[in-house]
């Protein structure tokens, strides 16, 4: 409540400061006076000066610029830092401060809505016959929250104020998200509450039974007295009313046992999560220097959820790629222009193991740099106006004309080709305009009604051309195209269009398909090279037809009642005029991959995270991007869902019957989904060679419409099953709504923790829909970041965010919750046991002071520090051994088993403490005068044991010690003794019978210290033994990596000492026992030569006996237990070994030994093809493809001549082979790849 009150006060103070800001309001006669923002009303004319924030949504009337333009910064709205140009109407741009006395106009507009990038309205200027109605667009709107820049002043009329402004309508609370652990915690607390009620009920029943039966014999309780304690006596100890006694006993016990419920847990978790979020924000390894963007946790509620992600749904453009567009190729009149290989072509060729001819090999590296930002096109046939001599020069000229005119780009600066800047809504559009400029059509000026282009010819000739803009048919995600209707300098009426290839090709006329076949072929080639393509077309328009259409367009624009209704009418009119197009060509733009994307995707895959890519690109483009970024591999079985080339669908489309087309298309999609599912199931049942094949699913947007539909949940579930069965999924040509729908399907039906990552406004839906939303601050603004739960600068930082911070936070929060319940069980059961010992009379053995501060002072701070700072392994090891992340996916540390172990340990330790102390104090007195100790004396001793036990239990569990850990753990124990000394000096009125209890009685007896030490050891010993056994014989994944980490530290410490000894003249190679040499050789054989040296092998707990290392495992084919022995090798300076698999029973022994004829290979040297042999090469190829090697028990291991491989219990579960070593298993796949341990372990 205090926190909420402080936040309310801060919000109120901020609101007051905002409302008191000043702005100039026109009061008449050209006079502007400063007024508060709270005084602004609709219809007021405001004057906003440079660097001031607009207090309301305004219609721009004029500005200090002669053309009526002004620049605004919309960072507070969408996070974009680039300035945007706003243009006033030609009818109002000449208005000055003194002209408003006579200026009259009427404004009609849509109702207030949250759409930042749309505005529908009309401005009627003049009176009577001179009235003129002008359509308004977002270009004339100045939104509240944006800032005026680079303009002295701007004059505008207020449209919306207060909560009706667009920024306030967008200021809605984001979807409430809670982690799975937090939701499970609620159920656990509920179960604890039920347990508390059950214990209280049992206490009440037993107490009532004993009261009715035995209370009359307890004369010293005086149950019949009517004075003094008569109320208590009648209620609690009245033998004549046992039911009433039971009721009072129930509520007494409910309060007394309330310490089972960790009330402070939720508060502690919130504090811990805040500090975890601060650590994420401060991680310099996730800082992107180019944009000065650190990682930022916008919420702390989902820290641990980062450690349980199973599926990542990612945008492509700007997320996997840089969103830095470069014009690189084009197709004009059926001829392809542009040379050079793209980054995707080179990467995909490398992934496929093919050699790729690069026609740029003769160019220097500097020559292949972009000639200009957005332009990396090289072809002498078009450069320097050489296109004028091409066969289809007129078509090329039309192509460049469309590039220079069909756009919404605004030029900025001096109209000089070398200095002008283009301000575009997307990098694609700017790149196309730059390409037109570089090829001879220089766009340099724009007004609301025209654009000006300079056409460069040969011999330095320049023609200045003006194109009148009659209409702009804007681009949107459903139309997937934009068009402009212009009148060219020759007076011809033309429609210029650019858009997606499938959309443009559907609207071609009969005479416009001359270049269609070759253009489509080239666009497919460009898409395979990973390029983004757009088709360009035009159509000459009939004057009379255009005038008729124009009237209908104007009527639709006047309807400002509903923006959606108006948009529907305008789209229908656009369809009417955008037909009979003539195809001119296509453009190809390269968007290069971000640094580290392939490596990140590979690491996420090794961590068991599936990746779905949702993109608006063509299927061919997405597939090749998939190859380039390691999402797809050449040996993957690809399941493609596409209806574009299905014969039945094509036949149905010829009928023009919409309902019939939808019916056939849906049936086609269902048929393809079920065929792919059948193929997957057949692979699963076909045995070796098929079950290990990787699968990928590729879906186009049309098919996705029918695959993910609320009207057909069965098909949606089948599609999800297919997607979940594949390692990679790519959805192409998807809309923003489809992205959100797919994310909702995976989250809802897949029952998996899904994370969505994107960088643009079109990704906001899926980011908000996912369990976790991650926004990348890119060139498309900050909309995704503002809607996300976490923000990062590059996709590669997702690796560290999930594997390091996510893995740590999951384990930390899980341990914190388990520990909180454990320590409350230890404390609570001692209270329960004493209450049972005291006839269930509701008596506590602890003083009230002890009860009040147990959770707050003595036990909370250490676990909070652990939950913030504890690390199972280093960050670098968590990334290197990515399989550690699967512990979170499987919820290893917060499942019923793990929680039960902690709780049972708490019950056991509580029993040991209580009954040990009870027995001790029954045997002897602890006072000098021979008198027995009192209840609170025993309670103080018991409390001391509890505090020391729970803190030392935490010390045993800590895996990463810092000075803070030492300070809080040992400090909490010390504070207890300091508290005993301090509370003993308090007045009796405050502390009662515990005054001076420690300094006078308890602390003066030597037996107190002895019994505390013995009892604490007895309580902790079972858990310590079990942990030691598990670590040595049934280790978890992180235990193995911790051993490797320890060996690395020892190696680092040993090497400097060894160098110093050699300098002093000692032997460079000290004598070592054969056992040590064998252990070191075994490490080197499996690829850990850098982790273990004979110097560092000193642990007696390796379980080695005599000359043989013994382990046991399970034969994957027979299921029999095998015994594994390391056998001594023969001769040579480098010891060699083999592993023998001996079935434990009357089964013939099978041994794996180094072949006599094979060459001796250095254990630390990489395996060569000759050394690996055929089986090894097959395993290596499978490993490169990301597949686990297939090795049966008793067969030679690929990748090593000196080690064997078998399947353990975990292998049987996860189909991952392992290599056993020192009582642990190592994944042979990881050894072949980068020496990383698997998730399989000996004894599982």
In angstroms, the CA 528 to CA 522 distance is 10
Alpha helices in 238-324 (DSSP H): 242-256, 265-281
In angstroms, the CA 571 to CA 583 distance is 21
The DSSP result for 631-666, as a single string, is SS-TTPEEEEE--TT-HHHHHHHHTT-HHHHHHHHH
In angstroms, the CA 411 to CA 453 distance is 11
Nearest one of 884, 733, 743, 732 to 810, comparing CA atoms: 884
Task: Supply 1112's token pair.
Answer: 């046991």
Beta carbons of 123 and 59 less than 8 angstroms apart? yes
What pLDDT score does 1104 carry? 31
Q: Which parts of 50-152 are beta strand (E)?
A: 57-63, 69-73, 84-87, 105-109, 121-125, 132-136, 141-142, 147-149
How many Cα atoms are found within 13 Å in the side-chain-facing hemisphere of 399? Answer: 26
What pLDDT score does 120 carry? 84
Q: How are strands ordered across the β-sheet holding 481-487?
A: 335-337, 321-332, 582-593, 531-540, 493-499, 481-487, 462-473, 450-456, 441-446
Task: Supply 75's token pair.
Answer: 């960072």
Annotated catalytic residues are: 315
369: left (phi over 0), alpha (psi -120 to 50) or beta: beta
The terminus-to-terminus CA distance of the chain in angstroms comes to: 49
In angstroms, the CA 1217 to CA 1199 distance is 13
**Beta bridge pairs of residue 483:** 473, 497
Nearest one of 309, 538, 298, 294 to 403, comparing CA atoms: 538
Query: In whole angstroms, how far apart are CA 660 and each of 208, 575, 650, 651?
Result: 77, 21, 12, 10
* Residues near 654 by beta carbon (within 8 Å), at least 6 away in sequence: none
Beta carbons of 249 and 842 less than 8 angstroms apart? yes
Annotated binding site for ATP: 315-317, 429, 475, 498, 532, 615-617, 733, 739, 762-763
The percent of the chain in helix, strand and coil, each rounded to the nearest 5, is 50, 20, 35
In angstroms, the CA 1186 to CA 882 distance is 13
Nearest one of 761, 820, 757, 821 to 789, comparing CA atoms: 757
Which contacts (CB < 8 Å, 24+ apart) does range 508-513 have? Answer: 508/537, 508/580, 508/581, 508/582, 508/583, 509/539, 509/579, 509/580, 509/581, 509/582, 511/582, 512/537, 512/539, 512/580, 512/581, 512/582, 512/583, 513/583
Q: Which parts of 177-295 are beta strand (E)?
A: none
What pLDDT score does 624 carry? 77
pLDDT along the chain (1244 residues), means of 10: 67 81 87 90 91 91 86 73 78 84 84 82 80 84 88 91 84 72 88 89 84 68 52 61 80 85 86 92 90 86 90 86 85 89 72 56 46 85 86 90 90 84 82 91 86 83 89 80 91 91 88 90 86 91 90 80 74 88 92 85 89 83 80 82 80 77 86 88 66 80 83 86 88 84 87 87 84 81 79 91 93 92 92 86 83 87 92 89 90 90 93 90 62 78 93 92 92 91 82 78 82 93 92 86 85 68 49 37 35 29 33 38 36 34 34 35 36 37 37 34 33 33 36 36 32
What pLDDT score does 1190 carry? 38
Beta carbons of 1170 and 1155 less than 8 angstroms apart? no
What pLDDT score does 442 carry? 92
In angstroms, the CA 505 to CA 499 distance is 10
- The three-state DSSP-derived secondary structure of 915-976 is HHHHHHHHHCCCCCCCCCCCHHHHHHHHHHHHHHHHHHHHHHHCCCCCHHHHHHHHHHHHHH
Sign of the Cα torsion 1059, 1063, 1067, 1071 reads negative
- 537: number of Cβ within 10 Å: 29
Sign of the Cα torsion 633, 639, 641, 647 reads positive
Task: Supply 833's token pair.
Answer: 């046991």
- Residues constituting the chain: 1244
Nearest one of 865, 863, 819, 858 to 964, comparing CA atoms: 865
Annotated binding site for Mg(2+): 315, 317, 759, 763
* Residues near 764 by beta carbon (within 8 Å), at least 6 away in sequence: 736, 758, 783, 784, 787
SS3 (DSSP) at 695: strand
What pLDDT score does 414 carry? 83
Beta carbons of 785 and 268 less than 8 angstroms apart? no
Query: In whole angstroms, how far apart are CA 755 and each of 321, 765, 770, 774?
Result: 18, 12, 6, 7
In angstroms, the CA 27 to CA 44 distance is 9
Pairing of strands 311-314, 610-614: parallel
> Helices 807-837 & 860-869, crossing angle to 10 degrees?
160
In angstroms, the CA 115 to CA 506 distance is 30
DSSP designation for 431: H
**All domains of the chain, ordered by start, with CATH?**
22-169 (2.70.150.10), 180-213+243-265+804-981+988-1033 (no CATH), 311-320+595-770 (3.40.50.1000), 323-359+367-544+581-589 (3.40.1110.10), 1072-1233 (no CATH)
In angstroms, the CA 766 to CA 773 distance is 8
Share of the chain above pLDDT 90, in %: 20
Annotated binding site: 315-317, 429, 475, 498, 532, 615-617, 733, 739, 759, 762-763
Look at the pTM and tell me if it is higher than 0.85: no
């Amino acid at each position: 409540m205090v926190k909420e009150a402080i936040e309310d006060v801060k919000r109120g103070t901020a609101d007051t400061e905002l409302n008191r800001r000043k702005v100039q309001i026109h009061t008449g006669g050209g006079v502007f006076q400063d007024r508060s923002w709270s005084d602004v009303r609709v219809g007021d004319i405001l004057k906003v000066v440079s660097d001031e924030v607009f207090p309301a949504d305004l219609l721009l009337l004029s500005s200090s610029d002669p053309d009526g333009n002004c620049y605004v910064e919309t960072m507070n709205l969408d996070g974009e830092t680039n300035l945007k140009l706003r243009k006033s109407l030609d009818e109002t741009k000449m208005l000055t401060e003194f002209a408003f006395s006579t200026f009259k106009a009427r404004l009609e507009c849509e109702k207030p809505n949250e759409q930042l990038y749309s505005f529908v309205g009309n401005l009627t200027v003049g009176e009577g016959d001179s009235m003129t109605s002008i359509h308004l667009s977002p270009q004339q709107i100045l939104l509240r929250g944006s800032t005026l820049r680079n303009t002295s002043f701007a004059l505008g009329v207020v449209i919306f104020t207060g909560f009706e402004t667009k920024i306030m309508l967008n200021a809605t609370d984001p979807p409430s998200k809670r982690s799975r652990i937090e939701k499970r915690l609620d159920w656990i607390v509920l179960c604890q509450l039920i347990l508390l009620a059950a214990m209280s009920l049992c206490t009440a029943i037993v107490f009532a039974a004993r009261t009715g039966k035995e209370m009359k014999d307890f004369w010293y309780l005086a149950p019949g007295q009517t004075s003094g304690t008569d109320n208590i006596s009648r209620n609690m100890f009245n033998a004549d009313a046992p039911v009433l006694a039971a009721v009072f006993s129930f509520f007494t016990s409910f309060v007394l046992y309330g310490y089972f419920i960790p009330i402070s847990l939720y508060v502690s978790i919130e504090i811990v999560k805040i500090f975890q979020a601060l650590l994420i924000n401060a991680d310099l390894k996730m800082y992107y220097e180019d944009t000065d963007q650190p990682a930022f946790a916008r919420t702390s509620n989902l820290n641990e959820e980062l450690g349980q992600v199973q599926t990542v749904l990612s945008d492509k453009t700007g997320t996997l790629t840089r969103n830095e567009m470069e014009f690189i190729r084009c197709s004009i009149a059926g001829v392809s222009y542009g040379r050079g290989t793209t980054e995707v072509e080179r990467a995909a060729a490398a992934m496929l193991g093919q050699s790729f001819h690069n026609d740029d090999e003769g160019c220097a590296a500097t020559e292949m740099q972009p000639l200009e930002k957005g332009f990396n096109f090289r072809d002498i046939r078009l450069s320097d106006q050489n296109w004028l001599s091409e066969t289809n020069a007129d078509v090329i000229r039309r192509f460049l004309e469309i590039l220079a005119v069909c756009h919404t780009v605004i030029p900025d600066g001096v109209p000089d080709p070398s200095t002008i800047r283009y301000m575009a809504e997307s990098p694609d559009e700017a790149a196309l305009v730059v390409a037109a400029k570089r090829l001879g059509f220089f766009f340099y000026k724009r007004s609301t009604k025209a654009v000006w282009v300079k056409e460069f010819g040969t011999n330095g000739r320049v023609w200045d051309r003006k194109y009148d803009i009659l209409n702009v048919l804007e681009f949107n995600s459903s139309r997937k195209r934009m068009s402009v209707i212009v009148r060219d300098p020759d007076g011809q009426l033309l429609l210029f269009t650019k858009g997606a290839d499938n959309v443009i090709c559907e609207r071609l006329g009969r005479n416009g398909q001359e270049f269609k076949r070759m253009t489509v072929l080239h666009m497919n080639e460009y898409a395979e090279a990973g390029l983004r393509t757009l088709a360009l077309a035009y159509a000459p328009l009939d004057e009379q037809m255009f005038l008729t259409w124009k009237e209908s367009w104007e009527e639709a624009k006047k309807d400002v009642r509903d923006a959606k209704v108006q948009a529907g009418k305008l789209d229908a009119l656009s369809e009417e005029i955008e037909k009979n197009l003539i195809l001119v060509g296509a453009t190809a733009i390269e968007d290069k991959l971000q640094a580290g994307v392939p490596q990140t995707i590979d690491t996420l895959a090794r961590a068991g995270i599936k990746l779905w890519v949702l993109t608006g690109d063509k299927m061919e483009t997405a597939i090749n991007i998939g190859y380039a970024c390691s999402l797809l591999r050449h040996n993957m079985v690809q399941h493609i869902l596409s209806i574009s080339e299905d014969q039945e669908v094509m036949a149905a489309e010829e009928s023009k019957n919409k309902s019939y087309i939808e019916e056939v298309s849906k049936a086609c999609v269902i048929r393809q989904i079920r065929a792919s599912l059948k193929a997957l199931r057949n692979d699963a049942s076909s045995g070796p060679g098929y079950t290990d094949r990787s699968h990928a699913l590729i879906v186009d947007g049309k098919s996705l419409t029918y695959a993910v539909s609320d009207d057909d949940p069965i098909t949606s579930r089948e599609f999800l099953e297919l997607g979940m069965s594949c390692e990679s999924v790519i959805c192409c040509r998807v809309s923003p709504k489809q992205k959100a729908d797919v994310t909702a399907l995976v989250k809802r039906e897949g029952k998996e923790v899904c994370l969505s990552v994107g960088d643009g406004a079109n990704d906001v839906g899926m980011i908000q829909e996912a369990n976790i939303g991650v926004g990348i601050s890119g060139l498309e603004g900050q909309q995704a970041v503002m809607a996300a739960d976490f923000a990062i600068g590059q996709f590669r930082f997702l690796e560290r965010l999930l594997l390091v911070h996510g893995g740590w936070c999951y384990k930390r929060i899980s341990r914190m919750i388990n520990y909180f319940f454990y320590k409350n069980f230890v404390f609570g059961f001692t209270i329960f046991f004493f209450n049972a010992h005291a006839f269930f009379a509701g008596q506590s053995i602890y003083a009230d002071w002890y009860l009040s501060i147990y959770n707050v002072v003595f036990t909370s701070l250490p676990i909070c520090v652990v939950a913030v700072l504890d690390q199972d392994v280093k960050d670098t090891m968590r990334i290197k051994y990515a399989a550690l992340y699967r512990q979170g996916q499987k919820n290893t540390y917060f499942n019923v088993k793990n929680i039960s172990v902690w709780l049972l340990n708490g019950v056991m330790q509580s029993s040991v403490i209580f009954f040990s102390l009870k027995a001790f104090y029954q045997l002897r007195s602890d006072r000098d005068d021979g008198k027995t100790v009192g209840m609170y004396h025993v309670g103080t001793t018991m409390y001391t044991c509890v505090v020391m036990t729970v803190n030392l239990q935490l010390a045993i569990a800590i895996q990463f010690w810092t000075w803070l850990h030492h300070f809080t753990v040992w400090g909490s124990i010390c504070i207890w003794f300091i508290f005993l000394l301090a509370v003993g000096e308090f007045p009796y009125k405050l502390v009662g019978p515990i005054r001076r209890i420690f300094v006078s009685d308890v602390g003066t007896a030597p037996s107190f210290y002895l019994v505390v030490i013995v009892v604490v050891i007895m309580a902790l010993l079972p858990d310590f033994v079990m942990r030691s056994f598990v670590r040595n014989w049934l280790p978890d994944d992180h235990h193995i990596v911790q051993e490797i980490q320890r060996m690395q530290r020892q190696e680092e410490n040993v090497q400097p000492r060894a160098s110093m000894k050699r300098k002093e003249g000692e032997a460079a190679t000290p004598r070592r026992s054969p056992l040590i040499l064998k252990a070191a050789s075994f490490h080197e054989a499996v690829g850990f030569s850098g982790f273990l040296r004979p110097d560092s092998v000193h642990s007696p707990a390796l379980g080695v006996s005599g000359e043989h290392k013994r382990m046991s495992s399970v034969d994957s084919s027979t299921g029999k237990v095998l015994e594994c022995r390391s056998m001594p090798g023969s001769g040579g300076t480098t010891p060699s070994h083999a592993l023998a698999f001996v079935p434990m029973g009357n089964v013939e022994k099978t041994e794996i030994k180094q072949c006599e004829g094979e060459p001796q290979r250095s254990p630390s040297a990489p395996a060569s093809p000759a050394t690996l042999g055929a089986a090894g090469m097959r395993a290596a190829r499978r490993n490169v493809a990301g597949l686990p090697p297939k090795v049966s028990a008793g067969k030679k291991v690929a990748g090593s001549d000196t080690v064997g491989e078998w399947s353990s219990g975990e292998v049987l579960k996860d189909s991952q082979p392992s290599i056993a070593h020192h009582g642990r298993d190592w994944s042979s796949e990881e050894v072949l790849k980068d020496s990383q341990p698997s998730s399989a372990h000996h004894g599982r």
